[in-house]
Structure 1
Amino acid sequence: MEAASLPLATSRFLSPPATAASCSRTRSVPSARTANQALEARKVPRAQRPSPRRNAVAEVKAAPEPVAALTRFEDVLQTQDCNVILRHFGEIRRWDVLSKVFGWMQEHEMLNIASYSSYFKYLGLSRNAAKALQVYGSIQDQSTRVNVSVCNSLLWCLVKNGRSDSTFKLYDEMIRGGLSPDLFTYSTLLSGCMKLKHGYAKAMELINELNSRGLQMDSVIYGTLLAICASHNYCKEAEVYFQKLKDEGHNPNLFHYSSLLNAYSVSSYYEKAELLMKDLKSSGLTPNKVILTTLLKVYSKGGLFEKAKELLTELEASGFAQDEMAYCILIDALAKAGKIWEATMVFNEMKEKGVKSDGYAFSIMISALHRGGYREEAKKLAKEFEDQNVTYDLVMLNTSLRAYCNTYDTESVMRMLKKMDELNISPDDITFNTLIRYFCKAKVYHLAYKTIEDMHSKGHQLNEELCSEVMIQLGEAGFPSEAFSVYNMMRYSKRTICKSLHEKVLGILVPAGLLKDAYIVIKDNGESISPRSLEKFATQFMISGNINLINDVMKALNHSGWRISQEIFGRAIQRYIQKPDKKQLLLCLLDWMTGQGYSVDSSSRNLLLKNAQFFGQKQLIAEILSKQQAASRITNKLID
């Protein structure tokens, strides 16, 4: 009976031979038991021997030189193994090795869609969007087809690095390429809207597209929308989306509550914030550090400093104030409300409690002291942070630099710049502008100019107001060429600049005798310059400018809309007559004047007739002058 309960194939296998029928009964039972034991044994998984591929992957991961190890196991590893290795170095944040491994995979043609997707993800984490775009460009050059997953990874990388222009350009390429974006695509794009100037309007466009494709908004999309509303001060809209989230059956999580609280903090709606906190607790959620810190922001921005201090005490008791962020929120609000000494007290309490500062609280206090006119105190605080900390971030470096610049502490300024080099921190617009202002105030104009030059060469947007001031100071200090260089850097760093800037630089160049440079300004921007300044330039140029450019200057002046005076023409004619070898240029000028309806005055007419031999024959100049007068009469009638 036991044998009959086994699978059919097993029963047949255990059946005794026909010649041993008399023994079949006694042997069948133990044989069946043996079979059961054998089946049970088969069910126990045997320890698998490590395959050569697994061994190779493990060795590459542990190798001091992973690329060399990859080369050793080139014949063993497959693309999926290389992907495992690539992800390993990404997860442990070894960015240099990550790129080398990917480069090796490229070189040995061991890449697939998953390789690109993973690599873009880790380039996003390592803040290397430029490299990601470079790799994507190589994919396009090779006409390699990519799927939505790869594009999503690259989109995420670009958004993570604040490359909004490239993000939406890639999205447009996806659509043109026939790829259908999914919810992850839209969630990523929406995240990129948070820091866009018109981010809310762009977000609405994306939501309309999402709906038109038949996709349903999920809790992640709603959470991102709430965050966009908060970052762009659309409080009412945030409330609408929060309610819609609930109406569609989604349960708000702490992120949703935090985003709506953040929206309330922008407008200081503390009463609504308190009602929302009651709703949060009634839903069964427990406020975490983020929620309580955001509520602290609501109270602080609303000027409810006593409530904010009570909540800070609660955060401390809950163990949520072990870093400086909560203190920074209150300190910043107090400082901006003009309560500088209350801010100082909270700051000092923070230090006494041993709360670690990465420099943010120091930065807030130093800036607050500076704004309040307490420059020496700001400098002392900057020095205190410097003495206590080896590492700096750019924000703290800029704050300390500003504190030292404001007290004209050149030694400390240079020390900060050296520290920036040592820490390999690239200066930003704030760094450059702080230095430019400092060098100008210290009257070290050549350093101010060099800083602007460095700023421009690194692709930073120049501050027009500041650079205009530097340009004028350079001109007054006797550096007109450098002033003109600053003007050109401003022109080429942005499409449009203030019209008055052209006249300002002209006021530097003409007195300095840099008339050729002044001519370039007028040629490109003559219509933005006043008649008075044009006349000053024209007079000076006819006296001492390059004689070979006189005709070009006349054309530029006429093109500006300014009607050239006969006195200017008279000066030009005098210059030409003094140079017999410039006869052809004078004839060209007289011919051009005829075509534009200009004529010479009696003084210049007599001068030309008196020097008729200059032209070879008197009849030629008489004919030219006659044509001029006729053309001038026609022009005057048209004007009248």
Structure 2
Amino acid sequence: MQVSSTSRQCPTLPVFLSPHFLPVVTNSTSLPSQNSKNRRARRIPALSLVKSRVAHPDAPSSSPPPPSSFPPSFGNTDTGAKAAVNTVVASARQAAVAEVKGSSDWASALSRVEDESVDHIFTACSYASTIWREMSETVLQVQDLNIILRYFGEAKRWKDVSQLFDWMLKHDKTNVASYSSFIKYMGKSRNLIKALQAYDDIEDEAIRSNVSVCNSLLGCMLKNGKFESCIKLFNQIKDDGLVPDLVTYSTLLAGCIKVEHGYSKALQLVKELENRGLQMDSVIYGTLLAICASNNLCEEAEGFFHQMKAEGLSPNLFHYSSLLNAYSVDGNCKKAEILVKDMKSAGLVPNKVILTTLMKVYVRGGLFDKSRELLIELDHLGYAEDEIPYCLLMDNLAKNGRVREAKALFDEMKRKNIKSDGYSYSIMISAFCRSGQLNEAKELAREFEASYDKYDLVMINTLLRAYCNLGDMENVMLLLKKMDELTISPDWNTFQILIKYFFKEKLYHLAYQTVEDMHRKGYQLDEELCTSLLLHLAQSGAPSEAFSVYNMLRYSKGTLRRSIHEKMLNILVGAKLFKNAYVVMKDNAEEISVLSLENFGSHFMKSGNINMINDVIKALKHAGCKISQTQNDNTHPMSSWYGISDETDLDNGPTLGCRDGLHSVVPSVHPPQEQKLELEHEQKIQEEDAYMEMDQENHILGKIFKST
């Protein structure tokens, strides 16, 4: 409402609304120093100035001039007053955000800022009072809190991100950007459950199907290895109203890079993208090139590269490096050099990634002289400050049997004090192991452990291989305990190294427990190794464990060699485990020789087990066998068929402690049966913990799927 200048009664204005003050209001306000010797202006936050004025209402102040004397820039209307108020509020909000971000106790700072409502600041002026009632009652708005949330996220302060978001939910101060940012950062912190829970709790359907929120959720799931669930959720939220954009498809395509059959799945997404009328951009093409490179598809990568150029899109360094990476699969140096020449003619200057990838092409193509020249060029450009280019050349030299040259390059690295994360040690230790230089490998392994306190799975496997080849049980045990301490989970290579080592040392019970752990974690078992293991377990007086290995192998591989079933049947018959033998015979009768089947039938009849006799006779008859009663009672099928001696070893050997997946090996101090029960109990608790976490994720995902 406009008030005439003649009738308007304007009370004393606070200092921050004074026309003399308004022109200098910024993020912080300059006040002249009282010290004449100090000519610099003191900077104090605008909000502090406002508070000090409110706290001392009786402080002397000059009476404001009449409204007609207001500066023309603000005028004498509500519009001018509103501009003044906006200036002060913006300054106050910036100061509040800075205070919360910079506080060591941000929660207290946030509560303090929120509690200090500034609506009383403007009561001195009718203009400001009217305007302020139309604005928020607190200093920080949702967008300000989002700024703080992103600040915590970029600083990887995951706990603060989670606590701030919970505070925002409690005070009903969230919007689309809040959910999008929070879910994204939960994905980066690998806290999938928290992200899924946040999405599941969204009641506003417009936010649930918002493309920014959904993109963050899909990206979060992909970062946590949930590709299949991600695609399923994507299909469901599309039905619920999501309109995917290029970012959506780019996110999903990035998930195809490391999954099985990723290329075919990527093509399906590209087809869907085109059917929706979306045009592929340079980011999509870059992702497709990376997918082709990861799947060793050079021709397909070239096709996308030329298609991109035909559509008028200019390739950047990322596109060139991705195609170069595809050429490195088979070391196609000729095409790589043509591509680099084309890149330079387009005005692009090769960077560290391009030159390092070109070097990768050279070493895989066997052009070691050119690789050395390129390494020198990288060094001159300052691109060889870390170990990556050295390791590329060193690794391929070692794999081509040129271990001495690789070692010389390794020594050069050390002389130049090249920054290393230990990968160069891993290459040289493996090279020494392959070439039979075990003492050199051990020496280098000890040097690494003395110099570095940083381990990853690759380095652990390299050191394990070195110590296992040397038969150094003490260091093997120490490494396994270190895996436990650092919570590094074993992979397929770790299991294979340990199983072969325990087998070589005739520690068959340890090998068996390692196979059990390997199977429980879902890794593919080696058929030849497991077959040898079950025979030696039977020889050492552990037929039940041998049958367990047989079952794990059967469920892991599906189809086994015919001879394995027959060997297992004879082991079980010799151990008088006829119930298990019947299972093997019934399921695989066509894979077992008639002689072994009749041998089983004869021994079963002599056992006097009348409970299963009808089933056994029926199964044998179905297999076309007759039961012979002339079997010599002293004949042991295992000894007569496979020449396995009656020697036993390692009945009570050391056992593998699997508190977190074969991370530690400790000597046995309990009788075998008691120890086995303890191990089974520990493993059961471990499995229950893992299943609980999986169930929690699946439960939330199920709720989301159901609700959509």
Same fold (TM over 0.5): yes
What aligned pairs does 1:327-406 form with structure 2 within 5 A after superposition?
327-406=390-469
Q: Secondary structure of 2:474's match? A: helix
**In the TM superposition, what is the alpha-carbon distance from 1:192 to its structure 2 partner?**
2.0
Cα 1:566–1:519 change in 2 (3 A) is closer
Q: Does 1:285 align with 2:326?
A: no
CA–CA distance in structure 1, aligned partners of residues 550 and 73 of structure 2: 93
More helix per residue: 1 or 2? Answer: 1
**In the TM superposition, what is the alpha-carbon distance from 1:327 to its structure 2 partner?**
0.8
Q: Does 1:312 align with 2:312?
A: no
Question: What corresponds to 1:204 in structure 2?
Answer: 267
Q: Does 1:454 align with 2:517?
A: yes
**In the TM superposition, what is the alpha-carbon distance from 1:352 to its structure 2 partner?**
1.5
Question: What corresponds to 1:36 in structure 2?
Answer: 72
**In the TM superposition, what is the alpha-carbon distance from 1:457 to its structure 2 partner?**
3.5
What aligned pairs does 1:479-490 form with structure 2 within 5 A after superposition?
479-490=542-553
Cα 1:544–1:415 change in 2 (3 A) is same
CA–CA distance in structure 1, aligned partners of residues 149 and 183 of structure 2: 11
Cα 1:403–1:143 change in 2 (3 A) is farther
Cα 1:337–1:132 change in 2 (3 A) is farther
Question: What corresponds to 1:164 in structure 2?
Answer: 227
CA–CA distance in structure 2, aligned partners of residues 181 and 201 of structure 1: 20
CA–CA distance in structure 1, aligned partners of residues 325 and 199 of structure 2: 36
- Whether the 8 Å CA contact 2:543–2:575 is kept in 1: the answer is yes
Q: How many residues align?
A: 546
State which structure, 1 or 2, has the greater radius of gyration over its C-alpha atoms: 1
Cα 1:311–1:130 change in 2 (3 A) is farther
**In the TM superposition, what is the alpha-carbon distance from 1:113 to its structure 2 partner?**
4.5
Question: What corresponds to 1:563 in structure 2?
Answer: 624
CA–CA distance in structure 1, aligned partners of residues 592 and 171 of structure 2: 62
CA–CA distance in structure 1, aligned partners of residues 448 and 245 of structure 2: 48
Q: 1:426 aligns with which of 489, 492, 500?
A: 489
What whole-Å deviation, never above 9, does each CA across 1:337-380 have from its counterpart, x for those lacking one? 22221111111111211112212221122222222222222222
- Whether the 8 Å CA contact 1:515–1:545 is kept in 2: the answer is no
Question: What corresponds to 2:299 in structure 1?
Answer: 236
**In the TM superposition, what is the alpha-carbon distance from 1:123 to its structure 2 partner?**
2.8
**In the TM superposition, what is the alpha-carbon distance from 1:411 to its structure 2 partner?**
0.6
Question: What corresponds to 2:89 in structure 1?
Answer: 48
- Whether the 8 Å CA contact 2:101–2:151 is kept in 1: the answer is no
- Whether the 8 Å CA contact 2:331–2:365 is kept in 1: the answer is yes
Question: What corresponds to 2:283 in structure 1?
Answer: 220
Question: What corresponds to 2:244 in structure 1?
Answer: 181
- Whether the 8 Å CA contact 1:193–1:200 is kept in 2: the answer is yes
What whole-Å deviation, never above 9, does each CA across 1:457-501 have from its counterpart, x for those lacking one? 444443343333322221122211111122233344455555543
Cα 1:36–1:453 change in 2 (3 A) is same
CA–CA distance in structure 2, aligned partners of residues 497 and 222 of structure 1: 43
- Whether the 8 Å CA contact 2:620–2:626 is kept in 1: the answer is no
Cα 1:409–1:235 change in 2 (3 A) is same
Q: 1:472 aligns with which of 516, 525, 535?
A: 535
Cα 1:440–1:112 change in 2 (3 A) is farther
Q: 1:261 aligns with which of 307, 324, 331?
A: 324
Letter in 2 for 1:352: R
- Whether the 8 Å CA contact 2:534–2:546 is kept in 1: the answer is yes
What whole-Å deviation, never above 9, does each CA across 1:229-255 have from its counterpart, x for those lacking one? 222222222222222222222121110
Letter in 1 for 2:455: Y
Cα 1:96–1:46 change in 2 (3 A) is closer
| Worse-superposed segment, 453-462 or 511-520 | 453-462
Question: What corresponds to 2:470 in structure 1?
Answer: 407
CA–CA distance in structure 1, aligned partners of residues 224 and 182 of structure 2: 15
Cα 1:116–1:514 change in 2 (3 A) is farther
Letter in 2 for 1:565: K
- List gaps (5 residues or longer) in structure 1: 1-8, 16-29, 572-640
CA–CA distance in structure 1, aligned partners of residues 601 and 111 of structure 2: 73
Q: 2:180 aligns with which of 107, 117, 141?
A: 117
Letter in 1 for 2:481: K
**In the TM superposition, what is the alpha-carbon distance from 1:277 to its structure 2 partner?**
1.5
- Whether the 8 Å CA contact 2:375–2:389 is kept in 1: the answer is yes
Cα 1:81–1:304 change in 2 (3 A) is same
- Whether the 8 Å CA contact 1:14–1:32 is kept in 2: the answer is no
- Whether the 8 Å CA contact 1:187–1:224 is kept in 2: the answer is yes
CA–CA distance in structure 1, aligned partners of residues 206 and 601 of structure 2: 59
Question: What corresponds to 1:443 in structure 2?
Answer: 506
Give TM-score, length-normalised by structure 2: 0.69
- Whether the 8 Å CA contact 1:245–1:252 is kept in 2: the answer is yes
Question: What corresponds to 1:23 in structure 2?
Answer: none
Q: Secondary structure of 2:328's match? A: helix
CA–CA distance in structure 1, aligned partners of residues 99 and 418 of structure 2: 42
Over aligned residue pairs, what C-alpha RMSD do you find?
A: 3.8
- Whether the 8 Å CA contact 2:292–2:301 is kept in 1: the answer is yes
Identity of aligned residues (%): 55
- List gaps (5 residues or longer) in structure 2: 8-65, 118-137, 633-708
**In the TM superposition, what is the alpha-carbon distance from 1:417 to its structure 2 partner?**
0.9
Q: Does 1:539 align with 2:602?
A: yes
Letter in 2 for 1:36: P
- Whether the 8 Å CA contact 1:324–1:357 is kept in 2: the answer is yes
